[in-house]
Amino acid sequence: MKKIYLNDIKQKELSIHQANIGYYKLFNRFILPYVLKSDIEFWTRIQCSQMIQVEKQSSKIYLFYDKLFILDHCLTTDMVDSNIYESELNLSFSKNLTEFQIKSYAFDEIVFFITRYKGVLNLVKCYQQLKKQLSKDDCIRFFNHSKLTTKIFINLIGLSETSYHNSRGKTPLEESYDE
């Protein structure tokens, strides 16, 4: 397998797979602002060391969204002198994943980070946005239920109903993007 670095990916044309645009927006708007800069660097490095699934379609490359920190880093960060760009990536090219599999990767990643940062997130907003992303078929496959209810969401992230409702007033941490 050819060695590929984050800097190499940054220089290619990347696109968000249509099935996952909403998941990326949820991540970028409702999770990422609550993550400390040191955690962002940590998760980006961790994800660089893991296998990344990539799909080639014509001349575009789609990063699958079980690597949201790498995706955000590639789409929003200017090329600067950074050790992260020297991180080696392990790429696996795939053309045969179904749309549900692609959505599943993103869904699992979103749920992981909501669960990981549930103490600082506005979970009501996260729930509302996640609910918008899931079709009836997705809900049946994921939960064996026709829609994502508050109760399912609360159980999914391992939280009490009181904690869920208390999260409404959360605002992003000031130090999230401090330089």
Q: What is the pLDDT of residue 1?
A: 46
Q: What is the pLDDT of residue 88?
A: 62
Residues of the chain short of pLDDT 50, as ranges, are 1, 79-81, 177-179
Q: What is the pLDDT of residue 24?
A: 86
CA distance 105 to 36: 24
Q: What is the pLDDT of residue 7?
A: 67
The two tokens of residue 167 are 């999260």
Q: What is the pLDDT of residue 179?
A: 44
Q: What is the pLDDT of residue 15?
A: 64
Q: What is the pLDDT of residue 52?
A: 61
> If residue 166 lies in a helix (H) or strand (E), which one and from where to where?
helix 161-166
Sign of CA dihedral 119, 120, 122, 126: negative
Q: What is the pLDDT of residue 64?
A: 55
| Average pLDDT for the chain | 78
| Of the candidates 6, 130, 172, 129, the residue with the CA atom closest to the CA atom of residue 75 | 6
Q: What is the pLDDT of residue 8?
A: 67
CA distance 88 to 50: 10
Q: What is the pLDDT of residue 104?
A: 87
